[in-house]
Amino acid sequence: MGIIQEKIIETLRDKGRQEGVKDVRIGLGYTAVQLESGKTGLAYTFRQDLPGGCSVFHGLRPLAGRKAWELLSFLNSDEKIEAALGLASANALVNHQINGALEGDILEFLNLHPEDEVGMVGYFAPLVSELKKRVKHLHIFEKLDQPGEILPEEAAFEWLPKCQIALITSTTILNNTLDSLLNSSASCREVILLGTSTPLLKEAFKDTPVTMLSGIEVLDAERVLQIVSEGGGTQFFKNFVRKVNLPVFE
């Protein structure tokens, strides 16, 4: 189990035992968990890693009707679908009406300097153009089938120690690379965990280099669940969620 996954599970253990699961959707783009209270969380689905055959999830059934704790405990699984269920459950438990949260785009809250070197782990296309205007260099680390001048994802471990800002996709929680990436980012001035899958749970990140958690709060659960079921992603969520940025240190 990764250190961050363990912290998330332990921090939310009691809350997860109190909340029941109403609905679960395992979509091609995202996985969603809705609690009986109506609160809903999302996590990325690694569809490229899904097993063959007519069933992509062979685990615990049924999922709806169980306590959120049972799904949350999947976060330490090596199976990507189980891990996504765990992270979506965590986000359903915490990504709502967060004290101290700042609404808006992450670029509104980043302290960028013209001489900064910025490392972006995961390709966040809407941020690229503006970042290139405001900093010295933007280094993007992603799978090589992405457009533009993208470095291979393993190059992040070499480059992040040379950067002042690190933007790290929260899907790294799911593929078990976040702990190593945070070690590489230890000297950065700002480290932001970014994306729809981000758990807005600062207690789990206080002993890490992470300075900001940038995620979403689901506002219209039924529409979001429908989008997940129909294979939609972030561009379809935008009218039914709000962007939320939570400083880890106050």
Distance CA 151, CA 166 (A): 15
| Full strand arrangement of the beta sheet holding 137-141 | 102-103, 241-247, 212-218, 190-194, 165-169, 117-121, 137-141
Rounded Cα distance between 167 and 170, Å, is: 9
**Does the 102-217+239-247 domain belong in CATH 3.40.640.10?**
no
The full set of domain ranges for the chain reads 3-94, 102-217+239-247
Number of residues that make up the chain: 250
Model pLDDT, residue 59: 73
The highest-level CATH class for domain 3-94 is alpha beta
* Residue 58: predicted pLDDT: 65
pLDDT tens for each residue of the chain, 250 residues long: 689 999 999 999 999 999 999 999 999 999 999 999 999 999 999 977 666 555 667 677 899 999 999 999 999 998 999 999 999 999 999 999 888 899 999 999 999 999 999 999 999 999 999 999 999 999 999 976 666 679 999 999 999 999 999 999 999 999 999 999 999 999 999 999 999 999 999 999 999 999 999 999 999 999 999 999 999 999 999 999 999 999 998 6
Q: What is the pLDDT of residue 144?
A: 63
pTM of the model: 0.94
Query: Rounded to whole angstroms, how far apart are CA atoms 214 and 235?
Result: 16
Domain 3-94 and domain 102-217+239-247, same fold? Reply is: no
State residue 97's pLDDT score.
85
H, E, C per residue of the chain:
CCHHHHHHHHHHHHHHHHCEEEEEEECCCEEEEEECCCCEEEEECCHHHCCCCCCCCCCCCCCCCCEHHHHHHHHHCCCHHHHHHHHHHHHHHHCCCCCCCEECCHHHCCCCCCCCEEEEECCCHHHHHHHHHHCCEEEEECCCCCCCCCECHHHHHHHHHHCCEEEEEHHHHCCCCHHHHHHHCCCCCEEEEECCCCCCCHHHCCCCCCCEEEEEEECCHHHHHHHHHCCCCHHHHCCCEEEEEEECCC
Q: Residue 155 has which token pair?
A: 């190059």
